[in-house]
Every structure is written in C-alpha cells, then in structure tokens.
Amino acid sequence: MNPLDALADIDKEVLQPLAPRTDAEARFPREAIEALGKAGLLGLVSATAVGGQGLGLKEAAQVVAQLAQTCPSTAMVVCMHYCATAVLEQQGPEAVRKAVAEGRHLSTLAFSEADSRSHFWAPTGSARADGDGVLLDARKSWVTSAFEADSYVWSSKPLAAEGASTLWLVGAKAEGLSQPGRFDGLGLRGNASTPIAAKGVRIAANDRLGEDGKGFDTMMGVVLPWFSVLSAACSVGLMNGALARAIGHVSQTKHVHLDSSLADLPTIRAYLARARIQADMAQALLDDTIAAIGAGRADTMLRVLEVKAAAAESALTVTDTAMRVCGGAAFRKEAGIERLFRDARASSVMAPTSDVLYDFIGKAITGLPLF
C-alpha cells in the first residue's frame, strides 16, 4: 500500500477531531504524529536500505500540503521532521536513520538563535572540546517540536575549523537542555515552538553531522531547499483548506427572503475567484520549484528563494479573503476559518522571513552575492 493512501483516513479519523483541541489547548498533536509514524509517513523520505519509503521532496510536499488543509500545526511538525531527516539521511548514524524509517523517531531543526534572529545560518552558540566529548552552549530562540521530538539537528559555531557553522545530532533528553518558556502563540499553537537553552550539554564527538565548519553548506544545499519547499506546501495546503471552508459556507448560506445563497452575489464570487487564482499560482510555483530542484536547473536557487515568500504572502491574502466573504460566521471557532487565518500569519515571519527572502531575491536577480 502506498503510504500516501493512508493520509485520507488519518485526516478523517485523527486530524479533524484533534485539530480544534490542538489549537485551543496549544497542545502538541501527539496522536497525529503517532498515526503518521504507524502509517510509514514519518519514514517517507528515509532510504529503503534502512526500512524507509525511499520517496522524495515531491511526495513530502504532498503530505505536508494535505495535513495543512486540516491542521497546519501538525503539518509544520512534519515539515521540520522531513528537513531534519534529509540531513540525517546524508550524515546521520544508521541506528537513528532506522528509527526514523520505522516511525519511532521524530526529529527537528534547532537553528534559529536569540542573538542572530532570523539569520539562522549564523549561529552564535558554541561547541568546545572536553576530553573525548563536546560541550554545547546556546540560546535557541524557536525550535519546532521542542521537548517533543526525539532529537535535534543542532547548529553551533565550528569546534576548531574555519567556517560559519557545524551541525550536530543532539538527543532531546540530553542533560543541560532547558525550556525557558512554553508556547502560547497566535497561530500554529500545537507545534511546540519554544526556545531551548543549552548549558554545557555534553555530546559525543562522533555526534557531529558532516565536517567541522561545513554546516553552512548543508544548511544552504540541503535544509534551505527542503524547508522552503515544505513551508510553501504548508501555506498552499492551508490556503486550500480555508478556501474549501469558505466556498462551503457561501454555497450553503441562504438569504431566505431572496431565495438565494451568498454564492449568488457577484462580489462574493469575485473575491473567491481572485483567492483561487492566487492559491493556484502558489501551487504552480511550488511545482516548478520541485521540478527545478529535481533537474538541477540554473534557476533552482532563485525558485527556492521565491517559493516560500510567494506562498507565505499569498496565504495572508487568501485567508483574509476567506474571513471577509464569510463575515461574522468566520469568527466562530467551529467554522475553522479563523484558526487557519491565524496559522497563516506564521510563515511570513518564520526564518528566513519574507523580508529577508525579498532581499536575497533582489540580490540574486541583480547579480549580487547573497552573503
């Protein structure tokens, strides 16, 4: 059975009843993650040699987009897991890769730091040798699935080499990790995105992922394409979810005295048409970005920079339209539209933010170096 076929059942049986509670209680969607693990979807991009599905970025984007139609919090947890898995598949230990492939291990990225903000590629946290081990110190500002995942793909300054960063595999239960505060945010309330403080966290020297000082290369060559595409997929799925709810509402809501529905109003139809076009343009750019990455096209980096910003900004507009056409009904929790409206606010300010990406895109098209 294709693991993607299980998504519809998981959506109906787990996500739909759980999503309102995930949002209301800012509760990590553990049941959904466990269901995805059992269905082979946490191991979707793990190699078949370690028991995974051996699928790629295209299929990962399909999973994230479908999850986001119902629960963007779950979609973002899975997005970060797939990004971390892409690194682990290249540089991680076999035992962890097998656990991921079997759906028993959830991983995530721990890049953004309080002192470098959205410039996730420039960690200020340190790594220093201590006998046969390494000690990590850092103030990570936002880590999705913090203290819910089993491991972190962690960035620091290099241990001894030249370069911008080094990556490590850090167990979530490592002594010296602490959680300065809980997450009680506007949107994506279930993704457990909190700061993590590390003080003298001891790991083994062989927990390094890749060469010392070469973390930047992995961030740009592996993580950025995966994160940009999957973040865009989350925005696209979220737009589709909001539009489906809005279309359902205006089609069913009647002006009894006029014997007509809201969908009979040309203004309502025009708003929805513009929103549908915007969502479809984001999907087209997402598809083209995946194609560019797969073919190694010359415009690949430009597409990678564009796709997250385009989808994030489109999601702001489309969810605003869904709220507008549904009027007061959209403010009700049971409609699910205001939840997606709030969730859509996150991507544009999630590193790299839309404004940072606009600067990068401007540099790319004017022939300037990105860094």
**pLDDT, one tens digit for every residue, the chain (371 residues):** 677 889 999 999 999 999 999 999 999 999 999 999 999 999 999 999 999 999 999 999 999 999 999 999 999 999 999 999 999 999 999 999 999 999 999 999 999 998 887 788 889 999 999 999 999 999 999 999 999 999 999 999 999 999 999 999 999 999 999 998 888 999 999 999 999 999 999 999 999 999 999 999 999 999 999 999 999 999 999 999 999 999 999 988 665 555 567 888 899 999 999 999 999 999 999 999 999 999 999 999 999 999 999 999 999 999 999 999 999 999 999 889 999 999 999 999 999 999 999 999 999 999 999 88
Is-contact 325 337, C-beta < 8 A? no
Residue 371 lies in a domain: no
Residue 58 lies in a domain: yes
Residue 370 lies in a domain: no
User: What CATH number should be reported for the domain holding residue 339?
Assistant: 1.20.140.10
- CA–CA gap between residue 137 and residue 319 (Å, rounded): 40
Provide the number of structural domains found in the chain.
3
Q: How many residues does the chain have?
A: 371
Alpha helices in the chain (DSSP H): 7-10, 16-24, 30-38, 57-70, 72-91, 94-101, 215-218, 224-252, 266-295, 300-326, 337-343, 354-365
| Close Cβ partners of 233 (under 8 Å, ≥ 6 residues apart) | 60, 61, 62, 64, 65, 68, 75, 79, 286, 311
- Residue 39: which of 57, 18, 14 has the closest Cα? 14
φ/ψ of 110, rounded to 5, equals: -130, 80
- Verify that 146 and 203 share a domain, yes or no: yes
- CA–CA gap between residue 124 and residue 157 (Å, rounded): 6
- Verify that 244 and 351 share a domain, yes or no: yes
Q: What pLDDT does residue 259 have?
A: 57
Q: Model confidence over 233-251: pLDDT tens digits?
A: 999 999 999 999 999 999 8
Residue 15 lies in a domain: yes
- Verify that 154 and 40 share a domain, yes or no: no
- Verify that 95 and 127 share a domain, yes or no: no
Domain end position, chosen among 212, 247, 278: 212
Is-contact 235 279, C-beta < 8 A? no
- CA–CA gap between residue 357 and residue 339 (Å, rounded): 26
- Global pTM value: 0.96
- Verify that 286 and 253 share a domain, yes or no: yes
- Verify that 141 and 88 share a domain, yes or no: no
- CA–CA gap between residue 347 and residue 19 (Å, rounded): 19
- Verify that 220 and 305 share a domain, yes or no: yes
Is-contact 145 132, C-beta < 8 A? no
- Verify that 357 and 224 share a domain, yes or no: yes
- Verify that 128 and 254 share a domain, yes or no: no
Amino acid at 41: L
What three-state secondary structure class fits 202?
Answer: strand
- CA–CA gap between residue 303 and residue 207 (Å, rounded): 33
CA distances for 316 relative to 76, 114, 275, angstroms: 17, 26, 10
What three-state secondary structure class fits 209?
Answer: strand
Q: Is residue 341 exposed (0-12), middle (13-18) or buried (19+ Cβ within 10 Å)? A: buried
User: What CATH number should be reported for the domain holding residue 65?
Assistant: 1.10.540.10
- Verify that 220 and 344 share a domain, yes or no: yes
φ/ψ of 222, rounded to 5, equals: -115, -60
- CA–CA gap between residue 20 and residue 27 (Å, rounded): 10
- CA–CA gap between residue 243 and residue 340 (Å, rounded): 10
- CA–CA gap between residue 104 and residue 152 (Å, rounded): 15
Q: What pLDDT does residue 254 have?
A: 62
- Verify that 42 and 147 share a domain, yes or no: no
- Verify that 357 and 230 share a domain, yes or no: yes
Which residues constitute the domain of residue 27? 3-106
Q: Is residue 219 exposed (0-12), middle (13-18) or buried (19+ Cβ within 10 Å)? A: buried
Structure tokens at 158: 């290099």
Domain end position, chosen among 212, 229, 263: 212
- Residue 193: which of 179, 172, 206 has the closest Cα? 179
CA distances for 348 relative to 103, 118, 135, 232, 344, angstroms: 30, 11, 34, 10, 8
Parallel, antiparallel, or unpaired: how do β-strands 151-156 and 166-171 relate?
antiparallel
User: What CATH number should be reported for the domain holding residue 158?
Assistant: 2.40.110.10
Residue 240 lies in a domain: yes
